[in-house]
Amino acid sequence: MRFEGSQDYVTTPDLMLAVNAAIKLQRPLLIKGEPGTGKTMLAEQVADALGVPLLQWHIKSTTKAQQGLYEYDAVSRLRDSQLGEDRVKDIANYILKGVLWQAFDAETPTVVLIDEIDKADIEFPNDLLRELDRMEFHVYETRETVRARHRPIVFITSNNEKELPDAFLRRCFFHYIRFPDRDTMQRIVDVHFPGLKRDLLREALEVFFGLRDVPGLKKKPSTSELIDWLKLLVAEDIPPEALRAKDQKAAVPPLAGALLKNEQDLHLFERLVFMARNNR
């Protein structure tokens, strides 16, 4: 199995190599990068391109490692016992399979996405060491050991909110998705808007990269915000000339709210524009 990129997702050669190495050597691949650079999308695209099912496990601050393996639903068993149902005799009826169990059990290889692992408790990655390494775990309630039939391709994303333990990192491959340069960005936009006018795109990218260079922004606009903004520009049918304001006088680009999501950032930006205008 090899991942060669896909029609809807632009990969750089180094990312492709990291993905293929992870597939080949069956190691989990840890992906980091600025928000909106397509970390989560990657797993979907790989699953799509390889034609295998994707199992997603979205991590929240309350998520426990155990939930990825299985949960024992004691409450419904207790209730069933009150009602005298037959199924109550077999404890296996009350074991709910988690994402990893489903992946281990699957007939075909699968892609597993563990999304935003840094959201969980600081000990969370340590609790998954053995499961990700040996791809097996023990079910206490039924005294059975679950082993993976096919080692799943595991993608893990992190937004760097917490540092991950060394022991965990040693078992993973790692790739940092850097923010796309102008050429890559052009390819990304082409993928999303095949029919976009060249001049509009050029002007838009100019504004976008200029905006990313504004000092002091709390949250720089990212790829996904650029895409949203372009969608709006196309929908509102804004001509390229409207974006080319810089020769006459500085102005806030139309629909800037799609790029700057933070009230303070928008405010700062408007103030800078105002100052630039006064200097002329």
Partner 1 sequence: MLIDFFLHLKAGQLKVSTREFLTLLEGLRDGACSHSIDEFYFYARTCLVKDESHYDRFDAAFGSYFKGVTEIPGLEAELPQEWLQAMMKKHLSPEDKAKLEKLGWDKLMEEFRKRLSEQKERHQGGSKWIGTGGSSPFGNNGYHPEGIRVGGESAGNRTAIKVWEKREYRNLDDSVELGTRNIKVALRRLRRFARQGAADELDLDGTIAATARNAGWLDLMMRPERHNAVKVLLFLDVGGSMDDHIKVCEEMFSACRSEFKHLEYFYFHNCVYEKVWRDSSRRHSENIAVSDLLHRYGPDYKLIFVGDATMSPYEILHPHGSIEHMNTEPGAAWLRRLLDAWPAAAWLNPEPEHLWPYRKSIEIVDQIMGGRMFPMTLGGLERAMQQLSKKQ
- Look up residue 232 and give its two tokens: 């709006």
By the rule CB under 8 A, 278 interacts with partner 1: no
**The binder of partner 1 chosen from 1, 4, 8, 21 (CB under 8 A):** 21
By the rule CB under 8 A, 212 interacts with partner 1: no
Q: Are 148 and 136 in contact (CB under 8 A)?
A: yes
Question: At how many degrees (to 10) do helices 198-212 and 223-236 cross?
Answer: 140
Q: Which amino acid is at 152?
A: P
List the interface residues with partner 1, window 94-133 (CB under 8 A): 122
Burial 74-91 (b: 16+ CB within 10 A, else e): eeebeebeeeeeeebeee
By the rule CB under 8 A, 86 interacts with partner 1: no
- Residues in the interface with partner 1 (CB under 8 A) total 35
Which stretch in 18-26, 84-92, 95-103, 232-240 sits in contact with partner 1 by CB under 8 A? 18-26
Site string for partner 1, 36-65 (x = CB under 8 A): ------------------------------
**The binder of partner 1 chosen from 47, 69, 111, 172 (CB under 8 A):** 172
Distance CA 206, CA 132 (A): 44
Distance CA 4, CA 17 (A): 9
Which stretch in 23-31, 84-92, 138-146, 230-238 sits in contact with partner 1 by CB under 8 A? 23-31
In the complex, minimum distance from the CB of residue 243 to partner 1, in angstroms, rounded to a whole number: 26
Q: Could you give the 3-state DSSP secondary structure of residue 29? A: strand
271 CB-contact burial (10 Å; exposed 0-12 / middle 13-18 / buried 19+): exposed
List the interface residues with partner 1, window 134-163 (CB under 8 A): 160-163
